[in-house]
Amino acid sequence: MYGKIANAPSESVVVELLKTKCLPTLYYGLEACPISKKQYKSLNYVLHSTFRKIFKSKSQDIVNECMLMFNCPSAEETIHKRNLKFQSKYAATDNLLCFVCQMLCVPLC
């Protein structure tokens, strides 16, 4: 995506495109899967590298500030929120499988 819009008028446009088009694809389905620390690290690397490229900076402090300023949380935070939403959605269902999993204390993710 970045190659097609490299001459975008502002960084905020690129970040919004990233948040609305790319990150949902990157995080798709991860709320239902167990994720290791290594996989979180890999997802965060993608996110931080993208911000480094957008803001043309190698400084991790600048990347962190930009992510904070544009309300773009880390992969752990995002996936954790999505996981809670996923679990609460299926905890209230009448689905027999979900009920059995809850009774057996088997986590949904």
| pLDDT tens per residue across span 9-46 | 788 888 998 999 999 999 998 887 888 999 999 999 99
Q: pLDDT tens digits for 78-109?
A: 999 998 888 777 666 676 766 666 665 445 44
Pick the more confident residue, 77 or 29.
Answer: 77
Which ranges constitute the DSSP H helices of 21-74? 23-27, 37-55, 60-69
In this predicted structure, what is the pLDDT of residue 3?
66
> What phi and psi values does residue 58 have, to the nearest 5 degrees?
-105, -5
pTM: 0.75
* pLDDT bracket for residue 57 (50, 70, 90): very high
In this predicted structure, what is the pLDDT of residue 87?
78
